[in-house]
Amino acid sequence: MRYYIISGEASGDLHGGNLITAIRAKDPAADIRCWGGDRMQAAGATLVKHYRDLAFMGFVEVITHLRTIFSNIAFCKQDILSYKPDVLVLIDYPGFNMRIAEWAKTQGVRVVYYISPQVWAWKENRVKAIKRDVDEMVVILPFEVEFYRKWKYPVTYVGHPLTEVVSHDKATNAVVKISEKPVIALLPGSRAQEIRAKLPIMLEMANRFPGYCFVVAQAPAQPDSLYRELIGSHNVKLVRDQTYNLLRQATAALVTSGTATLETGLFGVPQVVCYKGNPVSYWLAKKLVKIKYISLVNLIMDKQVVTELIQNDLNPDNLFSELGKILNDAAFRERMETDYASLWHLLGDKKASAGAAEIVCMTAQRSGK
């Protein structure tokens, strides 16, 4: 069977890579073409475009890159037509993928959406387009089943793929020690613009907590020069392709909102969530987004488990105070760790990639090609 998979971000590349591995386990002769990154390519797919050339974050950033985005959409449609896949698999990345799904429906291409767009957060009416254009929706957050049920749209919950990723890492990889000092992990994101916005504030903590070794997790798609420029004279370490090794030995972490907050929680590392974006983009988001929290940990648990410092609240003094609570207040730390245990239990131990691959392969077979 022929599979065309589209992901536009680092987290999608991670889950896409595991999905491709699971598809190949069920269909050893699978021919797979993808938009994604190094992990999806390493899993055996032919990489068409890398996510680092696709990821634009925020309303203002999207508007300024509209020409590139529309060019990519046109190229993608033509590439799909030329490839003639048995199934099109879309992984999150809704601004791009929802357009492709609508077009694919008109072309008679079967569509599986793995990792739902966050329609429960904003633009809820997009569910109408999903019902129209998507043959199978595979969700990874437990509350999404009930959300879609009220729209009378059946979806399949396969568990969160990060639980299997983290479990596999803990079972197979030994810890490579980074420092003799206790370690504070800095996870400033995967895009250059968010790294520039947040890392300088995170770095200030290295001066305020001299008894700790601060370590920056470098995003795979970003060059050393970006980090060296921002780190300057700060006494911190920089590691590449060691994020999980870093989290397994971290005492605490400062984390950009997104998938990394959940990864950090599943590794049991107390964290402060940090977000600062373009002021106009943030203002627009506040008007449109309906969720109480920005971190996946808090969203899934439906309460504040980890502190979120957002926009102007993300400043050195507030970050110093919140990190200090984690490092110096045993009761505060223990409450967070207890909630992390509940988080893992809530997400369960399903094999998400295998479950998603089962649906993808069945959908490809039903295409009748």
Q: For residue range 41-81, what is the model confidence (pLDDT) as tens digits? A: 999 999 999 987 775 544 445 555 566 778 889 999 999 99
> What number of other Cβ atoms are within 10 A of residue 325's Cβ?
16
Compute the distance between CA of residue 193 and CA of residue 230 in angstroms, rounded to an integer: 12
Would you say 1 and 362 are in contact if contact means Cβ atoms under 8 Å apart?
no
pLDDT in tens, 319-362: 999 999 999 999 999 999 999 999 998 887 778 999 999 999 99
- CATH annotation of 168-347: 3.40.50.2000
Hey, do 2-159+350-366 and 168-347 end up sharing a CATH topology, with the first three levels equal? yes
pLDDT score of 151:
95
Share the mean pLDDT of the chain. 91
Separation CA 255–CA 261 (nearest Å):
6
What are the structure tokens assigned to 87, written together? 């199934």
Q: Hey, which residues does 135 pair with through a beta bridge?
A: none
Confidence at residue 125, expressed as pLDDT on a 0 to 100 scale: 87
Identity of residue 202:
M
Q: Which residue has the higher pLDDT, 156 or 282?
A: 156
- Cα distance between residue 181 and residue 179, in whole Å: 5
Residue 368's pLDDT is 61
For residue 186, which of 219, 143, 215 has the smallest C-alpha distance?
215
In the chain, % of residues over pLDDT 90: 76
Q: Helices (DSSP H) in 27-125: which residue ranges?
A: 38-42, 59-64, 66-83, 94-106
**2-159+350-366 homologous superfamily:** Glycogen Phosphorylase B; (3.40.50.2000)
Mean pLDDT for the stretch of residues 153-175:
93
pLDDT of residue 345: 87
pLDDT digits (tens, 9 = 90+) for 165-212: 899 899 999 999 999 999 999 999 988 888 999 999 999 999 999 999
The number of residues in the chain equals: 369
Quick check: 248 pLDDT over 90? yes
pLDDT of residue 192: 87
Cα–Cα dist 101/76, whole Å? 11
Distances from the Cα of 368 to the Cαs of 143, 305, 334, 365, in angstroms?
34, 48, 55, 6
**How far is C-alpha 59 from the chain's CA centre?**
19
**pLDDT (0 to 100) of residue 86:** 97
Cβ–Cβ under 8 Å, residues 223 and 251: no
CA 98 and chain centroid, separation:
18
- The pLDDT of residue 282 is 59
**pLDDT in the model for residue 252:** 98
177-195: buried (b, 16+ CB within 10 Å) or exposed (e) per residue? ebeeeebbbbbbbbbbebb
Nearest to 75 by CA among 55, 98, 96: 96
Domain residue extents for the chain: 2-159+350-366, 168-347
Q: Is residue 262 predicted with pLDDT exceeding 80? A: yes
What is the residue type of 312?
N
Q: How confident is the model at residue 245 (pLDDT cuts 50, 70, 90)?
A: very high
Question: In this predicted structure, which of 33-47, 114-128, 139-153, 294-308 has the lowest mean pLDDT?
Answer: 114-128
Q: What is the pLDDT, as a whole number, of residue 55?
A: 54
Residues 6+ apart with CB under 8 A from 45: 5, 16, 20, 32, 33, 34, 36
Per-residue CA distances from 356 to 139, 211, 248 (Å):
9, 45, 27
pLDDT one-digit tens code per residue, 12-41: 999 999 999 999 999 999 999 999 999 999
